[in-house]
Amino acid sequence: GAPGDVNSNVLVARSTGDAQLDKAVWQWLSWDKNQKTKEQIESLLQSGKHKELRDRLCCRLTFGTAGLRSAMGAGFCYINDLTVIQSTQGIYKYLERNFSDFKQRGFVVGYDTRGQVTSNCSSKKLAKLTAAVLLAKDVLVYFFSTYVPTPFVPYAVQQLGAVAGVMITASHNRKEDNGYKVYWENGAQITSPHDKEIIKCIEECVEPWNGSWNENLVDTSPLRQDPLKKICDSYMEDLTKICYHRELNVQTSLKFVHTSFHGVGHDYVQLAFKAFGFQPPIPVPEQKDPDPDFSTVKCPNPEEGESVLELSLRLAEKENAKVVVATDPDADRLAVAEQQENGCWKVFTGNELAALFGWWMFSRWKENCSQDADVRNVYMLATTVSSKILRAIALKEGFHFEETLPGFKWIGSRVKNLLDNGKEVLFAFEESIGFMCGTSVLDKDGVSAAVVIAEMATYLQGQSLTLAQKLVDIYETYGYHISKTSYFLCYDPPTIKRIFERLRNFDGPQSYPSCCGIYNILHVRDITTGYDSSQLNKKSVLPVSKSSQMITFTFQNGCVATLRTSGTEPKIKYYAEMCALPGHSDRSVLEEELQKLIEALVENFLEPDKNGLTWRSA
């Protein structure tokens, strides 16, 4: 048969000697209509690369902390036209079971600017195929006519009363990756049991339906609507609910630089600044337009700090701008840098920014609330691997602080629950620079965070303070919280498993370590198994999460440290924090103690040399 022809003789002649693999190859070549990815599988088959074929075809995508995420390319565990069609068919099936009015209420589809020429794969094309599957089944689809920030999808789901939505993005991952992020009708990312149920539904209908490949349906179907203008206008108007000092913003002399990291953020951050009364921030010209290759940075993750912020810091110096805001490629996270008196730049960590946001959102609430407002009705949230600074502020000010599992999907669902019960939620965050200011969007949002930081800096300038000075002031008031987060790369899943199993059987079977080097351990909490030594019944209060590894140690010296696997990348991450009470603050002593403890943790528990782990290149 001709190349791309499914001629059974050719396939039998090229049998791999493995029935499961033969079936998977046959399915792929029968179903995939994307020539480029089809050819990738054919050429692997022809050159007898059975191991790689098995890696690509004999496993499926699963939902991690941010939905489905993988490299673009051919195979059932990669992101490509076929797996996106399959995932959407499964979602269609699941929603049809759960909502009688699914077709009328509709479904939202958004996308970023990623792409890969060699697989003829782009976020927009994957979004068109997502829409096609649903339009072919007579579902109303709100398909954005251009790329949008990730937070626009959950926002649109709520505004338009849709049953769910999908954002095609891999956020700040490397350029080879893409992803499929699913939001439920409540505007929060899906959590269990929905994710498990959707995976089941995907497996029930893996063969593409008639019409699923028709990506032109978004241009021809009367059931397709473009929500762009309505959602953008409405979002910018809602944003002004958390604008408190418009008159200061209008006349400030402060200048801001914004980089959108070759992603979607530029237009939307410009509009947000305008909504707050600011002059538009100065864009970094080389990074303001979408570029799927992220040409000017080694990785498109603003968390990596000064090395990836180079262009924006140089521009700021040239323009005499004191504050730089950086949104990641899908604009759901925010990095901030501020020039200090000595001319050096301070790049804030996610935990430091959270201290500033927490102070700001609470003090604005206090200044603007009605006489009879009850502080006990007010909440802030953070994921359990994030700084406990909000807990310290909450204890002193009288509002509530709650923790969730890592991943903003848990925060979104919990916030919705609190709002439905008449509570007021001011702020939530995760340490990996994800912030939610206000509750218009139940997910992290870099667009709103950027403009809130600008207003905060403007207000502080009026008090002759910088962000960095205010941060010290917050620590002096509520107690120093010094934290450090980093990671090791490990591409071998069995090694990762072995590291964590060793910790569970450290001093013998089923016994966790009682010390780490010279540091005594008070409590151990293992989210993977649901064990918590600090609870009377030894059971963790946070829900068990069997699919990922995560153990937290509380030390006698007040340090809390967590080891966990990443939900989106081949990493073992560690998080450690020293919390001091107000007035017990010698910062350098705390920093030194934390550093020594981390060294002990890495040496004793992760054993990087023995396990062949690569430390994040500093």
Q: How many angstroms separate the CA atoms of 367 and 344, rounded?
A: 34
Contacts of 615 (CB under 8 A, 6+ apart): 486, 488, 608
From CA 185, how far away is CA 412, in angstroms rounded?
A: 12
Helices 350-368, 467-478: inter-axial angle, 10-degree rounding: 80
Give the residue from 441, 250, 460, 236 showing the smallest Cα distance to 363: 460
Listed in sequence order, the DSSP H helices in 161-305 are: 194-204, 217-220, 228-239, 246-251, 265-275
> How many angstroms separate the CA atoms of 308 and 260, rounded?
12
Give me the active site residues, please: 171
Please give the structure tokens belonging to residue 214: 């028709």
- In sign, the C-alpha dihedral spanning 290, 295, 300, 305 is negative
Three-class DSSP category at 411: helix
For the residues of 86-97, what is the DSSP string, one character each? HHHHHHHHHHHH
Radius of gyration, alpha carbons of the chain: 25
- Are 72 and 178 a contacting pair, CB within 8 Å? yes
- Which spans in 320-437 are helix H? 350-368, 389-397, 408-420
CB 39 within 8 Å of CB 50? no
Q: How many CB atoms lie within 10 A of CB 614?
A: 12
Find the angle CA(223)-CA(146)-CA(408) to the nearest 5 degrees: 95
Task: Provide φ and ψ at 617, rounded to 5°.
Answer: -65, 120
d(CA 262, CA 290): 5
In three-state secondary structure terms, 75 is: coil
DSSP string, 462-527: HTT--HHHHHHHHHHHH--EEEEEEEEE---HHHHHHHHHHHHTTTSTT---SEETTEEEEEEEET
Query: What are the backbone angles phi and psi of residue 168, rounded to the nearest 5°?
Result: -90, 110
Scanning 369-407, the segments in alpha helix (DSSP H) are 389-397
Dig out the tokens for 136 from the structure: 């072919």
For 82, the 3-state DSSP assignment is: helix
- 216 exposed, middle or buried (CB, 10 Å; 0-12, 13-18, 19+)? exposed
